[in-house]
Structure 1
Amino acid sequence: MYEKDDPRSALATATAPRPDSGAAIAAAQYLDLRANEVVRAQNVILVHTDAHAGDDLDNGTLEGELAIVVTGASPAFTVVSKDGATRVDEPGLVVVPPGASRISVEADGPLVRLIEATEVQWRDRPANAAAYAEDHPRVALLKRWPEPVGEPRVRFYPLSQVPADPKRFGRIFRTRSFMVNFLPEQDGPRDPHKLSPHSHDDFEQLSLAVQGEYLHHIRTPWLNDRETWREDEHVRIGSPSVTVIPPPTVHTSEASDPGVNQLIDIFSPPRVDFSEKPGWVLNADDYPMP
């Protein structure tokens, strides 16, 4: 599954698949965010906004936390909530506590917001809502993890404070409902001889392409009913896009642009296996495990 020098090779889940449930396996989804601003997976809604200077983005009044994924192309902005105003002008993850909030945008660029899929003000907006008219039986439903330590407030985790470490897989942050992994930028195509096909037992992976182009390789395991079998998929998609990868498909993503490529992986609920690795979750002191 993983090369020996891949930090994921030491995960408990890397070699211990669970017995198969026999439930239907959902199809992968490849979503161009230029055409679909609001999309979803089972537990999370992703909102991609091409923001402009002067925009005032209303997040609504939410029961759960809001997360804002800030990339190198994102504009500076200020989050305004009942706790005051918090200005953000560099890449990282912003977590906004429940309640009403807005985003005041200072320049042009993309912003990505993550919202729980059950939020009343957002649940009917996703372009792919029909894919989740019924819950997918193989995907565990979201149960929020424990409250963060300390008083509710806007929290910003800048990437600039986290040096790269080859012993750690990406730069991972979690909230009560989401886990976001900022994978490193890749210059040029990925070595096709060093891919990492793997699968997940009970959670979806959202692979958000923010730079470059990716070739997503996805194989659906065969179940007893041959009519449910699918051909292997090798889908090329540019950025911005999000690919929703269902369990227990075997998958790997191959950067293919000659320039800079970058993926950000998103999970809801947070991954237990990543959380159990010491030092992997960079804000674990703020967000305890169950």
Structure 2
Amino acid sequence: MSKLIHRACVADHSVDKPDFRESDGSPTWITRGANFVIAITRVRAGTTLSVGDVPDEHMVLLPDTGVSIVCGKQAPRPVAGNHLLIVPPGGVTVTADAEGWIVRCFSARVQALLTLAGNASSYLVPRDDVAPMADWPAPAGGYTLRAYDLAQGVRENDKTRVYRSSNLMINVLCERQEPRDTRTMSPHSHVDFEQGSITLKGTHVHHLRTPWNSDLGTWRPDVDAEVGYPSVTVIPPGLVHTTRNIGPGPALLVDLFCPPRRDFAARPGMVRNADDYPAPEAA
């Protein structure tokens, strides 16, 4: 009998109630996968986001507002908006400069956030279809705060902007100004890892298909999940998927993976910060 293909978890934060409120009341939505957890907060000027004793690296995506960030006992460091931060293990405090969105991406080792996730019940039984977390080599020069200007990651005729840490990989796709051409869709599936698809601007439709097998009783109808922003959709292994933005205006889509993808790492030039993070020899 074919292995069970799980259903996607669709969390549309534009309509869902927040899973947590920060000390100033700012709403935070939390969504988990088997190996990662994503926290998205609508911040105001002065909102403080603090997490203590993070056991490994995590990422902070700043699509609009800038922040001041303190790692451990280091001095505060200002970072402008439209940056990706890779934060070293340990405690961290992020303070927003203005109203906007802050996206934090952690590995599933941050247990406190896993229990707050709106979809926590979907993972009460461990997933045997997802390969376990496996850290890649430590960064060149050791663990430290790294800030990447996303504008500098834009390249002609390339819609991707891929960055990795020792445990996560993120693809901040270039912002679209027009709806996706429906003649250029890219349906595909993954063998043994989940994809966390984050929408930060625009309306998107995730087209999801469960492949048929010999047991007709397991067949499912296709799903066309329309989401606003922000949202997080966790796509399991084996589920065929492709996404398009619809309607006018800008659209921004981000994909998260844990551990990093070996196929992306093997493509010359695809990972923008490859010089900072050596890949395993087998990648």
Quick check: TM above 0.5?
A: yes
Aligned residues: 267
Contact 2:154 2:174 in 1 (8 A): no
CA displacement, residues 145-176 of structure 1 (integer Å, 9 cap, x when unaligned)? 1111113211001112223232x451110011
Q: Identify the residue that residue 3 of structure 2 maps to in structure 1.
A: 23
Q: How many Å apart are 1:91 and its aligned residue? A: 0.9
Which residue of 114, 138, 143 maps to 1:147? 138
Q: Secondary structure at the match of 2:193?
A: coil
Contact 1:59 1:103 in 2 (8 A): no
Q: Identify the residue that residue 112 of structure 2 maps to in structure 1.
A: 121
Q: Identify the residue that residue 192 of structure 1 maps to in structure 2.
A: 182
Matched residues in 1 for 2:13 and 2:51: separation? Answer: 18
Q: Identify the residue that residue 279 of structure 2 maps to in structure 1.
A: 289
Which residue of 42, 54, 59 maps to 1:50? 42
Alignment of 1:130-141 (within 5 A): 130-141=121-132
Q: Identify the residue that residue 24 of structure 2 maps to in structure 1.
A: none
Matched residues in 2 for 1:201 and 1:165: separation? Answer: 30
Q: Identify the residue that residue 16 of structure 1 maps to in structure 2.
A: none
Q: Secondary structure at the match of 1:278?
A: coil
Matched to 1:207, the amino acid is S
Q: How many Å apart are 1:104 and its aligned residue? A: 1.5
Q: Identify the residue that residue 111 of structure 1 maps to in structure 2.
A: 102
Q: Secondary structure at the match of 1:130?
A: helix
Matched residues in 2 for 1:171 and 1:275: separation? Answer: 12
Matched residues in 2 for 1:218 and 1:164: separation? Answer: 29
Alignment of 1:209-288 (within 5 A): 209-288=199-278
Matched to 1:259, the amino acid is G
Q: Identify the residue that residue 159 of structure 1 maps to in structure 2.
A: 150
Alignment of 1:70-89 (within 5 A): 70-71=62-63, 73=64, 75-82=65-72, 83-89=74-80
Q: Secondary structure at the match of 1:156?
A: strand
Gap regions ≥5 residues in structure 2: 19-28
Matched residues in 2 for 1:137 and 1:220: separation? Answer: 18
Matched to 1:23, the amino acid is K
Contact 2:8 2:235 in 1 (8 A): yes
Q: Secondary structure at the match of 2:212?
A: coil
TM-score by length of 1: 0.88
Matched to 2:226, the amino acid is R
Matched residues in 2 for 1:249 and 1:215: separation? Answer: 15
Q: Secondary structure at the match of 1:122?
A: helix
Contact 2:11 2:233 in 1 (8 A): yes
Matched to 2:37, the amino acid is I
Q: How many Å apart are 1:266 and its aligned residue? A: 1.0
Whether 1:59 and 2:39 are equivalent positions in the alignment is no
Matched residues in 1 for 2:11 and 2:128: separation? Answer: 22
Matched to 1:280, the amino acid is M
Contact 2:176 2:250 in 1 (8 A): yes
Query: Matched residues, percent identical?
Result: 37
Sort the Cα spacing of 1:232 and 1:77 in 2 relative to 1 into closer, same or farther, 3 A. Answer: same
Contact 1:45 1:116 in 2 (8 A): yes
Q: Secondary structure at the match of 1:260?
A: coil
Matched residues in 1 for 2:273 and 2:260: separation? Answer: 12
Matched residues in 2 for 1:30 and 1:123: separation? Answer: 16
Q: Secondary structure at the match of 1:131?
A: helix
Gap regions ≥5 residues in structure 1: 1-20
Matched residues in 2 for 1:171 and 1:193: separation? Answer: 23
Contact 2:36 2:105 in 1 (8 A): yes
